[in-house]
Chains A and B, each alone.
Chain A
Amino acid sequence: MLSCKDVTHLASESRDRELGAMERMGMHMHLWICKGCRRFTQHMELLGQAMRMAGKEPERIGDPDARLSQEAGDRIRSALQRRLNGGGTQD
């Protein structure tokens, strides 16, 4: 019988790789009888959903007021300009 600790590993890894048939079965049997681990998988699901949402709306995560500094902007601008002017002609 899998322990809760084992199941947390499987529940986490199921989000990153395909579990084997035995792993899946062991996990589901455990979840059937363990409320704590059922809650754990719900928490993982919410976390995943929140991050997916933030991937589409990044202003939800981090500093919404963060701006490229003037210096960084200038540096990027001149790098782009150099590439536009000096980059080899392909045609």
Chain B
Amino acid sequence: MPNPSPRSLLDPERWLQEHGNYLYRYALAMARNEEIAEDAVQECLLAALESAERYQGGASERTWLTSILRNKVCDAIRRHSRETTMAQAEDVFGEHGEEEDAARFNRRGHWAVPLADWGDPARSLENKRFWQALNACLERLPPRLAQLFMLRELAGMETENICQEMEISSTNLWTMLYRSRMGLRQCLEKNDWS
């Protein structure tokens, strides 16, 4: 047996058992790619091992791991998009953006179709069908848009942080978030969940 050290008291095996699937689902929701999500969970637990001495047990273990996971998802997405041609796909969606806008607004920039009243937000959030519709709409969002939207709205990352991590300009990020929100809103409106 090696001499006891602070490290030997750490139990990453237990982290994996208790939080592994939770972290994986969280990462998968953000990255929308199994490989990236697995990668992020691994890097998250490795980083947790390194910083465990500093973890004072203030927040719950799961909250602590989740906060590490967010940045690791960013890293994993970035690594992955260097290897694939995701960056090129952005331009293609850029063209779509113009078409989408043309259908939403008339030539003077006013709504072409009136917007529906979605009723009381508190009740929507309790409505199972709202969540089903939201999930279906998130599915349909192009992966790159979905990733950025999730980092911003689900993980609650600061925009400056996302721009740094994902190596994009803030104008680019704002545009992509706009397109995500417009797409989701329109999709939700078509789904009759209320």
Contacts and interface: CB of A to CB of B under 8 A. Distances in A.
Interface residues of B, number: 61
Contacts, number: 152
Interface of B: 5-8, 10, 12-13, 16, 20-22, 24-26, 28-29, 38, 41-42, 45-46, 49, 101, 104-105, 108-111, 114-118, 121, 124-125, 130-131, 134-135, 138, 149-150, 152-156, 159, 170, 173-174, 177-178, 181-182, 184-185, 188-189
A47 interface: yes
A4 B112 CA distance: 10
Given A47-B153, A64-B25, A76-B45, A84 B12 contact: yes
Interface string A58-88: 1111111011110011011101100110010
Given A5-B110, A59-B25, A72-B41, 10 more contacts: A3-B105, A4-B111, A43-B185, A43-B189, A46-B121, A61-B29, A62-B135, A76-B42, A87-B7, A91-B6
Contact of B125 (A12, A53, A63, A66): A53
A52 to B, nearest CB: 7
A39 interface: yes
How many A residues touch the partner, as a band? 35 or more
Contacts of A68: 20-21, 24, 38, 41
Contacts of B20: 68, 73, 76
A51 B131 CA distance: 10
A86 to B, nearest CB: 11
A62 B49 contact: no
A73 B38 CA distance: 9
